[in-house]
Amino acid sequence: MKIYIAGHANYAESVFNILKFFKENLEDVDFMIFDNTYEERLEKFIRDNEGEELIVVTDLLGGSVNACAMNLLKKYRFKLFSGVNIAFLLELIFSNDTSEEHLRMILEESRKENVFVNDLLNRKEND
């Protein structure tokens, strides 16, 4: 499995560095900063890794980075996720299961990490 992180500005590099904090060996994870050659570079990465289980992660659904990746889905087979959080990516890098069922499960579980902490504290105070 190869994971490719892409996003605006320094998003992809920052996410990569966060993941590296938790798992030093990220030889199957790569990242790319968005610029005017992004789609061309992403397509080359996909072609160079044909036959691999490839997962592409972008920062914003509907953003230009994601739109380029969606365009490539018409030509190539890979799994594309957008707007995911660090919890999802951590599960992904420590898992060998790339089945769609498993990926959907970790996506759903990672959504539980998005919380308004004030509400959690208020609930505990009221209990």
The string of pLDDT tens digits covering residues 78-98 is 999 999 999 999 999 999 899
Query: Residue 97 belongs to a domain with what CATH number?
Result: 3.40.50.510
pLDDT at 32: 92
Range of the domain at 51: 2-126
pLDDT at 60 over 80: yes
CB 122 within 8 A of CB 48: no
Cα(111)–Cα(70) distance, rounded to whole angstroms?
A: 22
The pTM assigned to this predicted structure is 0.90
Tally of domains in the chain: 1
